[in-house]
Amino acid sequence: MTAPVLLIFFNRPGVLQTLVDRVLQACPRKVYLASDGPRPGRETDAHLVEECRRIVRTAGWKGEVCERFMGHNLGCGLAVSSAVSWFFEHEDRGMILEDDCHPHPSFFPFCRELLERYREDDRVMSISGTSFDHPDRRTRREWSYSFIRQPAVWGWASWRRAWHRYSFDLDPSSIRTLPAGAFPRQFGPSVRRWRRTYQRVARHRINTWDFQWAFSHLLHRGFAIAPSRCLVSNVVSESGTHGSGGAGPWQQLPTESMPFPLVHPPKVEWDEELDAFVDRVHCNHRGRFARAIWKHGQRLGLISTDQVRRGSLWGRS
């Protein structure tokens, strides 16, 4: 059996059913089920939320099951962060999957092995399932994973010791005083954009939880493990809570099988080149003019999805 798994869901029974089917195959020894409550004034929520809860309750889990089903709506930020806190109140390590994050079977043994390997290493704060590196670049990598400063939360794993560093409410002074060297890339426009984003989160202008998790990695100089294969895909849901639910260039990433045994890096060392690529390409933290070109080029359909993921208009990145 694999390590404990936390499933977080709300009102999307279609994507949830696919996730449940995949987690069942991994036979987790313990499953934690967390559901936010219906939103006031949304007539369809009550039915959809109840349908999602029915799916997980009748799934036929082989291990122990724990439930946290809210009677009222907390919203995305608090619903997810408080569910993760609840999970780590009971477990010292484990995997976290939201309903639209669909894992390859390799995700589970990959996380299980690394949760054990780095269980007492405070430098390592999380294990990502998604890779935003382009396949052309991943094939040139020597190890099964690298260490970067940007956690990906479309399927991830962590430890209680790391989550204890998490704070839902960011301190604006910590954002202002965080040295530029703590950021994923020491590039002026990128650092400034990160600071502005984190300040918006601190003022609660963005209802989220994941920027706070990323900030905790920077604040504590912690690493996220980035796999050399994409092990989790964020899929297009039937009713995206944050927008129209249309596919973006980073959704529907094809997953791959992770070769075992894992090839471990010889030491815990920052992969600056990979972090810079993710920051520039996935986050589009380029200079103002270049950022505008990429943003509008995607919107007008002048830049293909593969070019976006590659970060280059001319071929191999």
Contact call for residues 293 and 148 (beta carbons, < 8 A): no
What confidence category does residue 231 fall into, taking pLDDT thresholds of 50, 70 and 90?
very high
pLDDT-above-90 percentage for the chain: 82
Q: What is the DSSP letter of 182?
A: G
pLDDT, residue 25, reads: 95
User: How large is the average pLDDT for residues 103-130?
Assistant: 98
Q: What is the mean pLDDT of the chain?
A: 93
pLDDT, residue 289, reads: 83
pLDDT, residue 52, reads: 98
| Separation of alpha carbons 277 and 283, rounded Å | 9
pLDDT, residue 243, reads: 45
pLDDT, residue 1, reads: 62
* Segment 274-313, tens digit of pLDDT: 999 999 999 989 888 888 888 888 888 889 999 999 998 7
What confidence category does residue 113 fall into, taking pLDDT thresholds of 50, 70 and 90?
very high
pLDDT, residue 137, reads: 83
Give, in order, the Cα–Cα distances in Å from 316 to each of 96, 181, 248, 308, 311. Answer: 33, 29, 21, 12, 9
- DSSP states along 204-238: T-S--SHHHHHHHHHHTT-EEEEESS--EEEPPPS
The whole-model pTM stands at 0.94
Q: Which of 71, 84, 59, 63 is nearest to 8 (CA)?
A: 84
Tell me the one-letter amino acid at 204.
H
* Segment 232-252, tens digit of pLDDT: 999 987 654 544 445 789 999
Residue 314 has pLDDT above 80, yes or no: no
pLDDT, residue 313, reads: 79
**Which own/partner contact pairs does 266-269 have at CB distance under 8 Å and 24+ positions apart?**
268/118, 268/121, 268/123, 268/124, 268/147, 268/223, 269/147
- DSSP H/E element including 33: strand 30-35
pLDDT, residue 254, reads: 94
Q: Which of 289, 273, 287, 280 is nearest to 309 (CA)?
A: 280
* Segment 147-182, tens digit of pLDDT: 999 999 999 999 999 999 999 999 999 999 999 999
Q: State the pairing for strand pair 232-234/101-103.
A: antiparallel
Residue 220 has pLDDT above 80, yes or no: yes
Q: Which residues pair with 157 in a beta bridge?
A: 95, 127
Domain limits, CATH 3.40.50, in the chain: 1-91
pLDDT, residue 316, reads: 62
Q: Which residues pair with 166 in a beta bridge?
A: none
pLDDT, residue 247, reads: 74
* Segment 124-140, tens digit of pLDDT: 999 999 999 988 887 77
Which of 59-73, 264-278, 295-309 bottoms out in mean pLDDT, i.e. has the lowest? 295-309
Give, in order, the Cα–Cα distances in Å from 130 to each of 38, 242, 250, 271. Answer: 29, 20, 10, 16
CATH of region 1-91, choose from 3.40.50, 2.60.40, 1.10.1660, 1.10.1740: 3.40.50
What confidence category does residue 206 fall into, taking pLDDT thresholds of 50, 70 and 90?
very high
Give, in order, the Cα–Cα distances in Å from 31 to each of 1, 28, 46, 109. Answer: 11, 6, 23, 16
Q: State the pairing for strand pair 223-227/124-128.
A: parallel
